[in-house]
Amino acid sequence: MGNDFSLSIRPRRLRRTKALRDMIRETTLSVKDFIAPLFIIYGKGVKEPIPTLPGQYRFSVDKIADEAEEIHSLGIPAVILFGIPEKKDSEGRISYADDGIIQRAVGEIKSRVPELHIITDVCLCEYTDHGHCGILKGNEVDNDRTLEILAKQAISHVRAGADMVAPSDMMDGRVAYIRRELDKNGFQDIGIMSYSSKFASAFYGPFRVAADSAPSFGDRTSYQLDPANAREAIKESLLDIDEGADIVMVKPALAYLDILKTIKEESLVPVAAYNVSGEYAMIKAGEQMGWIDGNRVMMETLTSIKRAGADLIITYFAKEAAGLI
C-alpha cells in the first residue's frame, strides 16, 4: 500500500459515531417482543427459587398475581403458564380440572391484571406420573388418545380465562383437533400458538427440574424433532399453519436460528422463538463464574433471535431485559 493508495468504500464511516450507529441499526428489541414464562406450583404462600434457573421462581396460586402485575408494569404484554400439580396420574386428568393449578392461576391473574395476555402451555408431561407428553400404550405414546386430553385441557384453560393456548406436546394433528374443539365450545376467537418446530433437546434440562416433568423412562425422541433435521422441522411448522395455528414457534432458539429464519421466510404468520431454560442457565452460570458479562450476553442473545426472524421471544430474561431496553 503506497502513498497513492485510496479506499473509496469505507464501511467504517457508518460506525463512526454513536448517533450514526443508532440510526442504521437494523434490529431493535422491544419489551413488546417478550413473553415471560411463569411456573405455578401447588401449596400456599410459596415463592421458591428454582435452583437450575437463577432468578426464576415457582409461585403458588395466591402469589402469582403479584408477579403478573410486576411483569405487566414493565410493559411486557404476555405470560406463558406452566403448572406443577400436587398429584399426577397416568393420563394427566388433573390437567383439565376446573380447580386445577393453571385454571386457578389464570383466574387470579385475570382478575388482577386483565390486560395481560395469558397463554397457557398445553401438554401432559407436567401432569402424568410417567412424565411423557401423552398417554401411554405400553411404552409408546398413543397419539390420538392424547389429542382428546389435550383438547380438554385447552378448553378448561380457556374457560378459566386464558387468551391463547400453546400446545407443546408434538402430537400429530393436535392443532386441528384443538381448533375444532375450541370452535365447538364457542371459543373461535381464542388463538393457538403452536410449539410447531420443537426439537428433542438437552437444553430443556433446567426446565424439567423446575416443572418436575422429566420422563421416568426413555426420552422424547419419538415425538420431538431430531436436532439434525431442518426440512422436517419446517414441514412441521407449515403443517401446523395448515391446521390453523395462529402463531408458530421454534424451540429451542439459539441452536436453531437457521430453522427460525427459514420458517419466517416461508410463512405469513407471526413466528415465536423459545429462548429455553438451558440457554438461560448457561448465561447465568457463565456470569456467576465471572467469565462473561451477563447483561451484554443476554442482550446480544435476544437481539440475535430477533434478527433471525422472531416476532415474539419467550424468555426467562423478559423482566431483566425489559429493565435495560
Binding-residue total with ligand PBG (CB under 6 A)? 10
Is residue 284 part of the annotated active site? The answer reads no
d(CA 40, CA 84): 6
Catalytic residue among 251, 264, 284, 306: 251
Taken in order 183, 184, 187, 191, the sign of the CA dihedral is: negative
Q: Closest CB to ligand PBG among 213 and 262? A: 213
Cis? peptide before 252, omega within 30° of 0? yes
* Whether residue 88 lies in the annotated active site: no
DSSP label at residue 18: H
Beta bridge partners of 225: 199
Position among 68, 105, 125, 321 found at the interface with ligand PBG (CB under 6 A) = 125
Q: Select from 13-21, 27-35, 117-125, 236-244 the region that touches ligand PBG (CB under 6 A).
A: 117-125
Q: Which of 22, 39, 48 is nearest to 85 (CA)?
A: 39
Based on the shown chain and the rule CB under 6 A, indicate whether residue 208 belongs to the binding site for ligand PBG. Answer: yes
Query: In whole angstroms, how close is the CB of 302 to ligand PBG at the nearest point?
Result: 15
Q: Does 223 bind ligand PBG (CB under 6 A)?
A: no
Beta-sheet strands, E only, within the chain: 34-41, 47-49, 57-60, 78-84, 117-122, 136-137, 140-141, 164-167, 191-198, 247-251, 271-275, 312-315
What is the 8-class DSSP label of residue 217?
S
Beta bridge partners of 313: 34, 273
- Provide, rounded to whole angstroms, the least separation between the CB of residue 148 and ligand PBG: 17
**Closer to ligand PBG by Cβ: residue 252 or 294:** 252
Q: Which three cell numbers stand for residue 184?
A: 365447538
> Among 88, 110, 152, 198, which one carries the catalytic annotation?
198
82: left (phi over 0), alpha (psi -120 to 50) or beta: beta
- At its nearest, how many Å lie between ligand PBG and the CB of residue 251? 7
Residue corresponding to grid cell 391484571? 113
Interface segment toward ligand PBG; rule CB under 6 A; list 62-70, 203-211, 242-250, 253-261: 203-211
Supply the minimum distance, in Å, between the C-beta of residue 126 and ligand PBG: 6
Among 35, 123, 162, 305, binds ligand PBG (CB under 6 A): 123
Q: At what angle are helices 143-160 and 174-184 packed, to 10 degrees?
A: 40
CB of 204: closest distance to ligand PBG in angstroms? Answer: 4
Q: For 313, list phi and psi in degrees, rounded to 5.
A: -130, 115
Interface with ligand PBG (CB under 6 A), residue from 120, 143, 156, 168: 168
Strand, helix or coil for residue 22:
helix
Rounded Cα–Cα distance for residues 33 and 18 (Å): 24
- CB of residue 176 to ligand PBG, shortest distance in Å: 20
State yes or no: residue 204 binds ligand PBG (CB under 6 A): yes
Q: Is 39 in the site for ligand PBG (CB under 6 A)?
A: no
Position 20: which residue type?
L
For position 276 contacting ligand PBG by CB under 6 A, the verdict is yes
Kindly tell me which of 179 and 251 has the beta carbon lying closer to ligand PBG: 251
The binding site for ligand PBG (CB under 6 A) comprises 121, 123, 125, 168, 204, 207-208, 213, 276-277
Q: Active-site residue numbers? A: 198, 251
